[in-house]
Amino acid sequence: MAYLVVRGGARLSGQVAVDGNKNAALPLLAACVLTPETCELRNVPQIRDVSVMVSLLRSLGATVEGEGTSTLRVTCANIPSGSPDVAMVGRLRGSVLLMGSLLSRVGWAALAAPGGDFPARRSIATHLRALGALGARVTDHAGGHRLETPAGLRAASMYLPEASVTGTETALLAAAAAEGTSEFRNAACEPHVAELCDMLTAMGAVVEGGGTSTLRITGARSLKGVVHSLRGDYIEAASWGVVAAVTGGDIVVRGATATDLEPTVSVLVDMGLDCDLRDDEFVVRPSTLRATKRITTGLWPAFPSDIVSLVTVLATQAEGRTLLHDWMYELRLFALEQLSAMGADLFLCDSHRIIVTGKSPLRGRVLDSRDIRSGMALVAAALVADGESRILEIETVERGYADLVNRLRGLGADAERRE
């Protein structure tokens, strides 16, 4: 295990470019299974989750070129099995996406319970219900599920019981090869879902409604290889914006689309952030931060849960009291209790709500990464704290943030990765 040593107090400045959207990379890699032809993905983030997904594809028989670079060429000419490597499945929540691809390609899939952040809190009931509607028969198998399509996949019209991102993507991946037109209502609307719709259309399926809650997809008998360049990761861009704000820094973040950043930046502006938001450029300047009464996460295009941990750290450096309410996940806020030991004035109302009173001077200490986003929030807290902090299991944060230490150092942070 590795840890990150941060000596806080530096005002960060400079420029940083974000990679392709992590949450788009995984479903797009899963989509490569749908065709025997080569798919080329560009602007792929070089992060641990992508590396695990590549290993999963190889365990199924895929050939992947370019690993370790931002361009991957994936060829799934021969996929003899619908059972990906069990150990790899246990390391990655996104492995669940392979259920839809494998049903489309080989007619069956056997998946152990997926891992990743909050594995016990994230249900795949929506995924299984959608696949069942499309003709899959689901049985329990080796701690997970086995799915088969005795009569092949068929088009379906259904209301998804939850606007799950990976549930919607799983349904799309299966429907891409089903005969006829499927319609999914209460679908997830996130930009990375719309990006998957674009790629599936380029491959030969016809998808309408990307970015809305109603998706219609007409499957194709055979799908073709494509070249696709990923959009910039707006969660990563917002993270660097918060890092700039808490350190009183001056940072230009490039690579993310302005419309993707708007739901987050509008809240940051309410908290006094001095910034400019243009297409492909998010400029953050030293700011006098102030509390905002309440921040509540929601389904897209509301304020995203993925950034609530970082905004909690921002609230510790803002004058006044802020209530943060993340109704989607419980463990993120529990992970942030570590801020109290750093000197933050926090009151944990329950597993979903936390009250932050600022401005509080923070002091360095040993911290423990619990998930990607709260881990990055603790990195931000360490950057503004007085003295030295150690963030343990930094590999967790590196699952979502490529080349983290070098990027921090390039902005002027006193940071060092140690084994």
Q: How far is CA 265 from CA 21, 235, 277, in A?
A: 17, 11, 8
Instruction: Place 63 in a pLDDT band, splitting at 50, 70 and 90.
Output: very high
310-321: average pLDDT:
97
Indicate if the pLDDT at residue 117 is higher than 60: no
Q: Is the pLDDT of residue 121 over 70?
A: no
Tally of CB atoms within 10 A around 406:
11
Neighbours of 203 (CB within 10 A): 22
Q: What is the reported pLDDT for 331?
A: 63
At 206 the pLDDT is 96
Dihedrals phi, psi of 290, to nearest 5 degrees:
-135, 150
Cα separation, 35 vs 222, in Å, equals: 7
Fold observed for domain 3-18+232-418: UDP-n-acetylglucosamine1-carboxyvinyl-transferase; Chain (3.65.10)
Q: Which of 19, 117, 233, 326 is catalytic?
A: 117
Average pLDDT (298-315) is 95
Cα 293 from Cα 157, distance rounded (Å): 41
Fold classification of 22-229 (topology level): UDP-n-acetylglucosamine1-carboxyvinyl-transferase; Chain (3.65.10)
pLDDT digits (tens, 9 = 90+) for 197-253: 999 999 999 999 999 999 999 999 899 999 999 999 999 999 999 999 999 999 999
22-229: same fold as 3-18+232-418? yes
Average pLDDT of every residue of the chain: 94
Mean pLDDT of 260-289: 97
pLDDT band at 1 (very low <50, low <70, confident <90, very high): confident
List Cβ neighbours of 266 (8 Å cut-off, separation of 6 or more). none
Degrees to nearest 5, angle at CA 277 with 13 and 396: 60
Closest of 274, 267, 270 to residue 296, by C-alpha: 267
Q: Residue 96 pLDDT > 50, yes or no?
A: yes
Q: What is the pLDDT of residue 120?
A: 43
pLDDT tens-digit map of 124-173: 999 999 999 999 999 987 678 999 998 899 999 999 999 999 999 999 99
- The number of angstroms, rounded, from the C-alpha of 162 to the middle of its chain's C-alpha atoms is 18
Beta strands in 201-263 (DSSP E): 206-208, 214-218, 227-229, 250-254
- What per-residue confidence (pLDDT) applies to 118? 44
CA distance 195 to 186: 17
∠ CA 166-172-178, rounded to 5°: 145
Q: What is the DSSP letter of 409?
A: H
Domain ranges for the chain: 3-18+232-418, 22-229
The alpha carbon of 124 is separated from its chain's Cα centroid by a whole number of angstroms, namely 17
Q: CA-CA distances (angstroms) from residue 248 to 62, 273, 303, 384?
A: 47, 10, 23, 9
Q: For the segment 351-410, what is each residue's pLDDT rounded down to a tens digit? A: 899 999 999 999 999 999 888 999 999 999 999 999 999 999 999 999 999 999 999 999
Q: Check pLDDT > 50 for residue 2.
A: yes
Q: What is residue 143's predicted lDDT score, i.e. its pLDDT?
A: 73
pLDDT in tens, 324-355: 999 887 766 777 889 999 999 999 998 899 99
Nearest to 103 by CA among 56, 154, 57: 154
Tell me whether residue 274 is one of the annotated catalytic residues: no
Position 119 pLDDT exceeds 60:
no
